[in-house]
Amino acid sequence: MGEAIVITSGKGGVGKTTSSANLGTALALQGKKVCLVDTDIGLRNLDVILGLENRIIYDLVDVIEGRCRIQQALVKDKRFEDRLFLLPAAQTTDKNAVTPEQMKDLITELKRDYDYILIDCPAGIEQGYKNAVAGADRAIVVTTPEISAVRDADRIIGLLEQEDIEPPKLIINRIRRNLINSGDTLDVNDITSHLSIDLLGIVLDDENVISSSNRGEPVVMDPNNPAALGYRNIARRILGESVPLMSVDTGKPGFFSKLKLLFTK
Amino acid sequence: MSKQQVVTIKGTKDGLILRLDDQCAYSDLLEELGKKAQDPGLEGAVEVQIHTGSRYCSDQAAKEIIQIVQSAGHLRVSKIQSDVITMEECNQRVQERQSETYIGIVRSGQEVRAKGDLVVIGDVNPNGHVSAAGSIYILGRLKGKAHAGNAGNREAVIAASWLEATHLMIADQMETMTDELAILSEHPEMECAYLHTNGVIAIDRLQDLRLLRPGLSTFKGGC
């Protein structure tokens, strides 16, 4: 019996879909059997980021309305043998085509065959959000170090805490070292103390995330990329390993750290 | 009709007290009251207190009594006092005196309401809303909206370990926290907001609360 994890944020554009694609890929790289479910009906993207767009035949709404079996709608990612699958969202209808009960049944069925089901949630707190959360056992909240994203994360955490699921965990995405070091943006501590939930991991901002998404291959497949490392660490934490948090500092050592270095030598 | 007096008049230095019999019929009482009020023996403008004893007086009845007493022109009712209240009123009063405790974070979009005082153990995040008929005490950061005395209690206060609210409301007054006030809260000092006698919301050190609102303390005894 697998575990269903919803990836949500409230605000749009913080990297839910990118995180879903990368975490799914990272878990598959770790040898787990993963199914990604795109619940952003009407505005699907996950298929594009995974490079599976032209292999979609049936979608989530087709399954729910009984036009096909689940197995027919699942798109296999050939790069990972039999470990990574995508259940794409429909593009021709909207979020009201599905009810939370139907979603719950669907996810329960998928949990029988997969170790992890990652549910990519649409932005907002309306029907699409309710559908995405309905079948989940755990939740991951994605935010960026911007005040607007943190506010929306706060709202969504409040809503998630009312659901019958484990307390949500946090991913801080698109961290820019230079802005944090200059103190021009919220740092990791500010955000975690404001939201007061467990931090699952941080992901540094990197241009390659965009370029590799455009090519249809999640950045996590490149082991040398700093953002990929963040996603790989998060995947290992999801699997229960304890991985230390990567440091945000890169800059030159300050006076005190030099002094400390002098004494520890 | 019995000749027993159903309305007794007693004079005090603060005015007259009309004691109404609580055993007779209400209609008899009104009739007698009418006669007494028109009594030419009473002269000049006088303040009157009415004691109804163990008779329950609905709002409607109280209005009727006041109207009859004041119809004579020279009497003014300052208060009506009764020894009995309904269960409903009693429960409401008990609730208003009670303190409710909320443990957890009041997050954006959430609202916590209390009928009496409210104690929040945890933060109130921006766009979170706490509201109480009594006072609000927060063990944590108040970064959202707080409304104390939402039923009109102007004595209510808002106290927090870190008072960084966006909006403070007490009774019908509202204060949005300006940058100027934010500078005040940079000092890590516990603060409380209260309604100043000049009608605006003021913020002071929490230590001053016992001087500002001595009535809030319900602690009895000690040394």
The domain segmentation of chain B, as residue ranges, is 7-81, 91-215
Token digits of residue B73: 């022109």
DSSP states of A156-188: HHHHHHTSSSPPPEEEEEEE-HHHHHTT-S--H
Asked if A154 lies within 8 A of B123 by C-beta distance, the reply is no
The class that CATH gives domain B91-215 is mainly beta
Q: Is A54 on the interface with B (CB under 8 A)?
A: no
For residue range B171-217, list pLDDT tens digits in order: 999 998 765 555 555 566 788 999 999 999 998 888 899 899 988 88
Q: Please, are residues A174 and A203 in contact by the beta-carbon 8 Å criterion?
A: yes
Token digits of residue A246: 């990567």
For residue range B141-152, list pLDDT tens digits in order: 999 999 999 998
What pLDDT score was predicted for residue A154? Answer: 95
- Counting the structural domains of chain A, the total is 1
Task: Say yes or no to pLDDT of A121 above 80.
Answer: yes
- Assigned fold of B7-81: Transcription Regulator spoIIAA (3.30.750)
Respond yes or no on whether ipTM tops 0.85. Answer: no
Using a CB-CB cut-off of 8 Å, the residues of chain A touching B127 are 151, 154-155
| pLDDT tier, A50 (very low <50, low <70, confident <90, very high otherwise) | very high
For residue range A147-202, list pLDDT tens digits in order: 999 999 999 999 999 999 999 999 999 999 888 888 888 889 999 999 999 999 99
For residue range B61-107, list pLDDT tens digits in order: 888 888 888 887 778 888 888 888 889 888 888 887 889 999 999 99
What is the C-alpha to C-alpha distance for residues B33 and B8, in angstroms, rounded to an integer? 10
- Domain enclosing residue A145, as ranges: 3-264
Interface of B with A (CB under 8 A): 104-105, 107-110, 123, 125-127
What pLDDT score was predicted for residue B1? Answer: 46
Q: Could you tell me what percent of chain B has a pLDDT over 90?
A: 35
| pLDDT tier, A206 (very low <50, low <70, confident <90, very high otherwise) | very high
Residue in chain A nearest B110 by alpha carbon:
A158
| pLDDT tier, A83 (very low <50, low <70, confident <90, very high otherwise) | very high
What pLDDT score was predicted for residue B122? Answer: 95
Rounded to 5°, angle at Cα A20 from A17 and A22: 110
Asked if B125 lies within 8 A of A152 by C-beta distance, the reply is no
Backbone phi and psi for residue B190, each to the nearest 5 degrees, phi listed first: -75, 135
Asked if B125 lies within 8 A of A161 by C-beta distance, the reply is no
Task: Say yes or no to pLDDT of A71 above 60.
Answer: yes
Token digits of residue A25: 């890929």
Q: Please, are residues A167 and B117 in contact by the beta-carbon 8 Å criterion?
A: no
| pLDDT tier, A261 (very low <50, low <70, confident <90, very high otherwise) | low
Mean pLDDT of A120-142: 95
CATH number for position A134 = 3.40.50.300
What is the C-alpha to C-alpha distance for residues A118 and A132, in angstroms, rounded to an integer? 10
* Residue listed under structure tokens 């939201």: A195
Asked if A158 lies within 8 A of B107 by C-beta distance, the reply is yes
Using DSSP, state whether A94 is helix, strand or coil.
Answer: coil
What is the C-alpha to C-alpha distance for residues B15 and B79, in angstroms, rounded to an integer? 11
Nearest to B185 by CA among B200, B163, B165: B163
Q: Please, are residues B158 and B132 in contact by the beta-carbon 8 Å criterion?
A: no
B110: exposed, middle or buried (Cβ count in 10 Å: 0-12, 13-18, 19+): buried
Using a CB-CB cut-off of 8 Å, the residues of chain B touching A141 are none
Best to test chain A binding among B103, B105, B107, B145 (most A CBs inside 10 Å): B107
